[in-house]
């Protein structure tokens, strides 16, 4: 499979996000959040590149290595929904500016047309101290918007959906532990090549730097993704191994070193894990 390099940049500017606090507010409240990049706010990119390789194959799937990705992608139709749950794992910073992202979304790999619609969490080390955030992105129209700060151990539920009648995407990332959430409803924009939704993805990622390398990968242990579900334009809903589409597993390998590994899926394709191996 051809895998495209994808930009996911964080810029030091205000980002308007919607936060909802269970039991604290009757509705939602808008908040301006400054998204500071690692290493003094430098631009960063977050993408995938690689070639077919020896990643673990799930039933009926294929495998590839990636310079920055670990996880699964499904193809075979256009997709209207992807959802998953995971936990914010505490990370160990191996250097001053380690950075990892955990997300779901559309159009991440293969012959997708140069756009990305996604949301998730990250663990970002600044001077060796980690912080954790919810974030969303509609690339390339806007760069990553870091929003709500979350805590290790928090349970996360995320969903990205597409409404064909309005041509709008709804990106929701909910902290089930604290009650905080990030919700964004956005249209497919002029520079997103039609947002064709040719792939749907559940990914643990080593964030790419603007010079094309990757930031050091913080030790996040093992990330367990559960309740994974995809829906395609024909109305079919299933997990990764659903018979309606094909799946591909990614293993991150850099300079001959395996950085992360991807497990097989559960029997119904609704769960898998990624595990940190090397900085």
How much is the pLDDT for 12?
A: 26
Report the distance separating Cα 81 and Cα 131, nearest Å: 29
How much is the pLDDT for 110?
A: 58
pTM, two decimals, is 0.82
Helix, strand, coil % (nearest 5) of the chain?
A: 0, 50, 45
How far lies 138's CA from each of 26, 109, 113, 184, 224, in Å? Answer: 28, 15, 13, 10, 25
How much is the pLDDT for 58?
A: 55
How far lies 278's CA from each of 55, 91, 124, 252, 275, in Å? Answer: 16, 13, 16, 10, 10
How much is the pLDDT for 114?
A: 67
DSSP for 111-173, written as a single string:
T--S-EEEEEEEEEEETTEEEEEEEEEEETTS-BEEEEEE-TT-EEEEEEEEETTTTEEEEEE
Q: What CATH code would you report for 14-276? A: 2.60.120.700
**Local structure of 59: helix, strand or coil:** coil
275 pairs with which residues across the strands? 222, 261
Closest CA to 255 of 98, 65, 91, 45: 65
Q: Domain ranges in the chain?
A: 14-276
pLDDT, tens digit only, all 279 positions of the chain: 223 334 343 332 223 233 332 222 222 222 222 233 333 333 344 444 443 333 344 555 799 999 999 999 999 999 999 999 999 999 999 999 999 999 999 988 755 556 788 999 999 999 999 999 999 988 777 777 888 999 999 999 999 999 999 989 999 999 999 999 999 999 888 777 778 899 999 999 998 877 878 999 999 999 999 999 999 999 999 999 999 999 999 999 999 999 999 999 999 999 999 999 999
Q: Prior bond to 140 cis, omega within 30?
A: yes
As separate numbers, helices (DSSP H) first and strands (DSSP E) second, the chain gives 1, 21
Report the distance separating Cα 222 and Cα 225, nearest Å: 10
- Asked if residues 116 and 105 have their Cβ atoms less than 8 Å apart, the reply is yes
Report the distance separating Cα 86 and Cα 120, nearest Å: 10
- Asked if residues 175 and 150 have their Cβ atoms less than 8 Å apart, the reply is yes
How much is the pLDDT for 61?
A: 76
């Amino acid at each position: 499979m051809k895998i495209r390099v994808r930009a996911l940049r964080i810029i030091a500017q205000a980002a308007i996000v919607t936060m909802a606090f269970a039991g604290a507010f009757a509705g939602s409240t808008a908040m301006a959040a400054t998204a500071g990049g690692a290493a003094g706010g430098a631009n960063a990119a977050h993408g995938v590149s690689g070639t077919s390789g020896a990643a673990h194959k799930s039933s009926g799937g294929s495998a590839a290595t990636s310079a920055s990705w670990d996880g699964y992608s499904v193809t075979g139709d256009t997709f209207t929904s992807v959802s998953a749950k995971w936990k914010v794992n505490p990370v160990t910073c191996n250097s001053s500016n380690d950075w990892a992202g955990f997300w779901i979304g559309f159009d991440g790999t293969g012959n997708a047309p140069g756009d990305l619609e996604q949301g998730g969490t990250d663990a970002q080390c600044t001077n060796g101290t980690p912080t954790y955030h919810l974030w969303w992105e509609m690339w390339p129209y806007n760069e990553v918007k870091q929003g709500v700060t979350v805590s290790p151990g928090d349970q996360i539920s995320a969903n990205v959906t597409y409404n064909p009648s309005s041509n709008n995407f709804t990106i929701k990332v909910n902290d089930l532990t604290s009650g905080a959430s990030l919700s964004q409803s956005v249209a497919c924009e002029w520079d997103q090549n039609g947002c064709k939704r040719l792939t749907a993805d559940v990914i643990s990622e080593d964030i790419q730097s603007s010079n094309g390398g990757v930031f050091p990968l913080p030790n996040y242990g093992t990330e367990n993704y559960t309740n994974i579900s995809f829906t395609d334009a024909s109305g079919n809903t299933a997990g990764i191994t659903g018979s309606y589409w094909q799946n591909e597993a990614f293993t991150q390998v850099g300079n001959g070193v395996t950085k992360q590994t991807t497990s097989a899926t559960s029997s119904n394709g609704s769960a898998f894990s990624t595990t940190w191996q090397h900085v």
